[in-house]
Every structure is written in structure tokens, then in C-alpha cells.
Structure 1
Amino acid sequence: MNALSQTHSQGVVMTQAYLEIRDLVKSYDGKQQAVRGISLDIRKGEFVSFLGPSGSGKTTTLMMVAGFEMPTSGSILLGGREIAPVPAHKRNIGMVFQNYALFPHMTALENVGFPLRMRKTPAAEIARRAAEALDMVGLAAFGGRHPREMSGGQQQRVALARALVFGPDVLLLDEPLGALDKNLREQMQVEIKRIHRELGITTIYVTHDQSEAMTMSDRIAVFSQGVVEQFAPPLDIYQRPTTRFVGSFIGDSNFLDVTRQNDGLVAQGIGALNIAAPSQAGKFHGLVRPEAIGLWTGGDEQGHCVLSFLIEGLVHYGDSVLLIGSAAGLNLRARLPSVQASHLHEGDTIRIAWRENDMHLIPVQ
């Protein structure tokens, strides 16, 4: 373990800091609220993603945690201490921006050492810790280069090293990989997670990319119109969304109208279902993921929904094929392994099926 890792690890044990967001509200004009009463508990050492479309409030919330925006109301506690009134530079929070925000006249080593210089750290210690931080992000040999002499991915690594060099209690990343191409994004995802594991630092990662959030996070907060629709581990978000918005925003989805009739459930285009009706609500969104739908090869239909499906389009992904079509008045999507779909063509009518228990019911709100 190098000295930088030791600094962070010791901080984890000593401070036991964690982040509490309580009833957070932000309005820029006194009328419309960009953030509407958000409350979140983020555990020490946790990697949390704020996921949502543009304008959903995720970046505004991050900026209030960072101290670059003041809340209209609500509180932010770090390790039990209220930090909403504390200036950004006194919060001991590291920040990585999408546009890198590096000083063009400084070398990589000088950029990384800048936060320590602002803290009046001795010059020898600045040089040592900045070099360690660059080494951590794989840029030990690039300390003498200026940003203009580095690729986008290298500049983002410098920005990450700068955010970590002073041992922050929390690391905030605002869509840090948005300007990178696909391969570089994937490489940086791996690097960020590796560093998170090594340092155990509490991390909030803002993104609109669901695959980033799903692969990197311990938990995901799904934002929509200034509120958090669901805050849960990735698999729960995907398999058990609590609102239709979450179910439709994360991954491909098929929705059927499901209603309670007497003591049972009836699904649009399907009829009676042989699954237990939840105690709440009378109407539901029945969510079926495309990968839960397969070719029906015959047999006992008990416990299955079996339909005649007209293929109206095919999208090839290499290892799988997405079938787009209709069945029983429903627009449906089914994702099959390529080996099963190699003989299928647009205009074919096939039999598809899914298990009734693979349908997730979301109460209509």
C-alpha cells in the first residue's frame, strides 16, 4: 500500500464520514424547483451513481453537495456535521468535472499538486504526494507534460489524481467520461472502480449512461424531474423497479396493463394470470424484459404466457438479436441469442412465451 492509499484508508477508519442528504430543495427563481425534497443516505465507502436524463436534478444535487450551489432548503451532513453553509474549499470534497478543468499553463504534476499548494503543504510533500497520485492513475511518466500534450483520457486521469491527492472524505464525479470514446470510457470505468476499491472512498458518480451506472455502482439513485424515483442496488433497479419511469429508463422493457378482477389478475392481451395479486392497488404496469421472452417450442402452457408474434423488425447485436413486433394487439420486443434467431426474418410469425413469474408488477400511481 503506498502512502496515498494509507492516507485515505486511515481517514476511513478515523472519520467514519458518511453523507446524509435531507429534504434538499433547490429553486433558481423561487417558483420552479430543480430539486424537490430529495433525501438520501450514502454509506461510508459506498459507490453511488446519480442516474437520470438531462434536467432531472442529478447534477444540481451533486453541485449542492460540492458546495458550488446553495440549497434553497434542506440539509447536507458529512460525518454527522452540517456542511450546507460551509464553503466548497473547506468541505474536504474532491471533484472531477466532465471538461477536466485543468490549468493549461501547468504541467500534470503541477495540476495535481495545486490543491496541496492551496493548503500550504510543504513543497517536498507536494512533490511526493502528487507523484504518488499520478502513479496511482498510471501516469507516473507524464508529470512534466502540459494538458495540450496529453490525450483526453490522460487529461481525465490527471483530473482524477488532482481530486484524490489531498485525501478527500468524498469524491464527486460529474459525467467524467462523457467526452471520451467508447473504448476509453470502458478503460476509465475499470480504473475508477479499481481506485475506489483501493482507497475505499465514498464516491458519487453522476451519469445519464445506464450501463455505466449498472456496472460501477453499489447503489443507484434514479432521478426524474427533481425527485429520486428509486434508490437501490443495480439488480433491484433492473429487476424490481418501483415506478414505470425506472422500468422504462433502465434497459429495454415491455409494459402490459394488468388489472385486479375479483381475487385475480388479468393482463392486457393475455387474459387471466395464475400469479398472486399484490395487496395494494387495483391497476398495475406489468413489466416483462425482452430477454425473459423466448421461442415457444410446445409443452404445458401452465404458468406461461404464450402468444403468436409477428416480426416487424430485427436488430442484430452480435451475440443476440432484438425482435421487434406485435402480438395480441401489443407492441413487444424479445431478445434472443443469435444462434436461436439465425433463421428468423422480418414478416415471420412465430410463437413466443415467457413465464408469468417473470412479469414484474408496478402499482399504477
Structure 2
Amino acid sequence: MVPSRSALKSIVLAASLLSGIPAGVALGQEDRPPTPVTVVTLAEQDVTLTSILPGRVVASGVAEVRPQVAGIITERLFEEGSFVTQGDELYRIDPASYEAQVAAATAAVAQAEATLSSAQKESDRMQALLERRVVSQQNLDDANAIRDAAAAALQVAQAQLLAANIDLDRTTIRAPLTGEVGRSLTTRGALVTAGQAGALAVIRQLDPVYVDVTQSAAELIRWRRGETQAELGNANRTVVLTLADGEPYEFTGELTAAEPHVDEQTGVVVLRLEFPNPDELLLPGMYVQVEMPQGVIANAVLAPQDGVTRDRRGRPIALVVNEQNVIEERTLTVVRNIGSDWIVSAGLEDGDRIIVEGLQMVGVGMTVVPEERQPTQTQTEN
């Protein structure tokens, strides 16, 4: 007696359970419809490699305000935390003693001018008497020497007057730099001295600002040899900044200098980047992260990370749907990640359809129904 079709299926199912063969394979795929899977169609592109470097914000200009003459502070002429321009008055020192020095120097100049005038007249008189042979040449030489000494004394007096005026002018302490002035570190009535160690206030220039980051010495060597520039070619060389709260900074910067010194303990070099700071969002001492371009991989493929797994040897693999809608397995060469994708230099080609959803339900050699994944709003913006 010939068994029925349902009985044959039961026999095959029982045999597959005993032998470990999947029931779907034992019964034949022709008895079940192709499994739907979600795929992403890949495209080759040039990928710019970047590195994230930690850094600190540094003011582009810093000036510590210190007195150049001694005296008592009589007045503070600025608002703490305000913007000041170079030359603005900040403090005033009691000028009484310096005004007296100017007055004394002015009198000394007048006295020297009178002495010079008298000596000049005496020299002219001796010249006339010598022409009439009334006095000797020695008398004329002595008169000329006195005149020249009086002229030199006048120059000394004028120099002393200039110095006295400079000291008097320095009783008004002015801003040496344009920028933001911090809090006042002294008060009215305080005694200050010329060249003292403590500053009266600090002025910082905050637009633009510098960001100092550390880079390995090997990368710096490549940059100096021009290899990094050659790799970058016409790629985007924009330097992007990430703030301490994780949000990106709206302005981009550029590399301006590299410290000509390698730290002996860490083997890194300090790089200086410049960023515009019109809103003064970046403040000196703030911790930030900088994304710097390092090179370009030509004709690379960006594979979604949710479509890449690993085999028993730990090698990255992906399941790809070919033109006949049959699944193939590919072994990949992964360079690094970029966002939510892997940069694949070998194993995937332009136009490949990689499975990103439904991997647990399919296997190599199976026929599937691929459906293209629709980009999310975030992917569309990127």
C-alpha cells in the first residue's frame, strides 16, 4: 500500500529530526514562499578619515594689567566683566607727587634755558672781542665750552621733564589689549608698586579663540612631509568642534600652528587650532573635542553596522542578496567605523544589497524577497 502525501511528510519530518537536518530543507523550499528581508543598496564613495582629539580653549590674547608707577589707587574706571578697548582707562593712581615732579622738572628746564642763553651771549661777545684783538683765543674757547655745557644741561633737564610727564601719565592705568576684562583684583585705597607680581585685572581676547589639542608624533611627521595633505587631496579639511555637553559647535576652525617639541613622556605634540567666537560661547580653559581629517580612502563602501556580523573565527561577514535574489556570504575587510557604518575596503562592491533586517530567518543559498530600507529622518539629514 502506497503512503499518502501527508504521511510522507510526517516520515520525512521525523527523519530530519533524527538526522539534525532542518525540516524546511528536508521538505524542500519549494513548499514555502521566499522570506522577506530588508536590504540596503551600497554605493562606493571617497571617505575622509577623521580622528577625535581632546583639547582646551585658549584665549587668543591675554594681558595682565599691572601698575608702572607706585601709589594709592584712587578710582576704578571700568565695569567688571565688560568689554574694553585698547587705551581705555582702567584705574587712577593718586597723581599729586608726580605732578610735583613735573613742576620741578619744568623749572629745571627753564633754568637750563636761561643759563644757555647767558652762555651763548658770552660766547658771541668773546668772538667780537677776538676780532678786535682785545681777548685771546683762549678766552673764546672757554666761553664756547661754557655754552656747550649749558646746552647739554638743558638736554638733561628736558629728558627729566619727559620722564616726569611719562610717570604722571602712568598714574592713569590704561587697557593694553582689546578684549573682555575680568573681575578687579584690587580695590580703591590699595597701595600698588611698579612691576608688582600681582595683576590688578586680566584682559582676554575671546574672538577668535585658540584650541590646543594633542597629536601623536607619527601623525605630525606625516603632516610635515605632506603625506596627509596628499591623501586628503580635494577632500573637506574642515575642523569640527564638539562642546563639553556633546553638542557640535556651529563654527568650524583651521590648523594654525604646531608646537616644535615632542613630549618625552607621552610622545605627543600640541597643535593649535583657531575658531571664530563671535558669541563668546567658548571660554578659556573649557574642555572640548576636535574632529580632524587624517586621510581619504578612495572607492570605499559604507556598510550599516546592523548588517555586519562575525563568523566563528571573528572575521566580519555580511549576507548579500545577488541579482537572482539568492543570499551570498561575503568576508569583509573593515577599516574602522564612522558613525553607524563600517568603512569596508574589500568584500563589498558598488550596488551590493546587504541584509540589515531578517538575518535570523535566512541562510546562505536561500531565495528571499528583498525590500529596500527607507532612510530615517536622521539619515536623510546626514
Normalising by structure 1, report the TM-score. 0.22
Between 1 and 2, higher relative CO (CA 8 Å, sep ≥ 6) is seen in: 2
Normalising by structure 2, report the TM-score. 0.21
